[in-house]
Amino acid sequence: MITSQSSLRRSERSRRATLDAALELCAEKGYGRVTIEAIAARAGVSKKTIYRWWPSKGAVMLEAFTEVFVGATPFVDTGDIVADLRTHITGAVRMVSTGPYGPVYAGILSELHDDEVLARAVREQLVDPRFDAAVQRLRRAQEQGQVPAGADLPLVVELLYGPLYYRNLLRKPPMDEARVATLVTHVLRSVGTNAGDSANAGDSASAGSTANGIAPPRPRDGGAPGCDG
């Protein structure tokens, strides 16, 4: 059956209204008090329509959050891996820990243990694409000599972003920009990176650090380069 353009437009309007309603209600009532019935009423659609597109409230919230998160936290490539990681992680922290979207994310996470379908959707729609984007950004930095060739890039991503999930799950205070900068510095040092070294690094090197706050690797015994302890 051929779907008319008008039908497609109506479907998109209904989908958009549903996602907007879910976010609005979560901000007003809190995640736990939002129901499919309330979302349907606010969006002006039927429960049947919602369940035709999403299997649960968590799935509605996930799609709504993912669209906002991806749009608000693009993984830019300025050529400086240190600056790019700091920018992206800081943006991610703000999205999942503060403002109107933090409670949405926390509510989604609270359902993962008992909802394997939602857990798989979180991995496929939100976590895996962002994880892959971070690995690709690090791989480009690796090709440019900013990250050592032997670095385990997926592990580096886990080390960089793990604290964000840890703090969110345990409801610890979110990292501020200074803490994010320290995190990026320590993780990149742990793999012996020279990221941040540049033509003007000589001035800052005399103070023991580069312009991006990463000290040049100290030589090990015998003069071979190594990473800071």
| Over residues 62-87, mean pLDDT | 92
Torsion angles phi and psi, residue 17, rounded to 5: -65, -40
**CATH topology identical between 10-53 and 57-193:** no
| CATH tag, 10-53 | 1.10.10.60
Task: Give residue-wise pLDDT tens across range 169-221.
Answer: 887 888 999 999 999 999 999 998 864 444 333 333 333 334 344 433 333 34
Residue of 66, 89, 73, 82 lying closest to 19 (CA atoms) = 66
CATH superfamily of this structure's domain 57-193: Tetracycline Repressor, domain 2 (1.10.357.10)
pLDDT class for 142, splitting at 50, 70, 90? very high
Average pLDDT over residues 59-86: 92
* Two tokens, residue 26: 């979560």
Residue whose C-alpha is closest to residue 109's, from 98, 100, 121, 94: 121
| Euclidean distance between CA atoms 73 and 68, whole angstroms | 9
List the chain domain ranges. Answer: 10-53, 57-193
Beta-bridge partners for 210? none
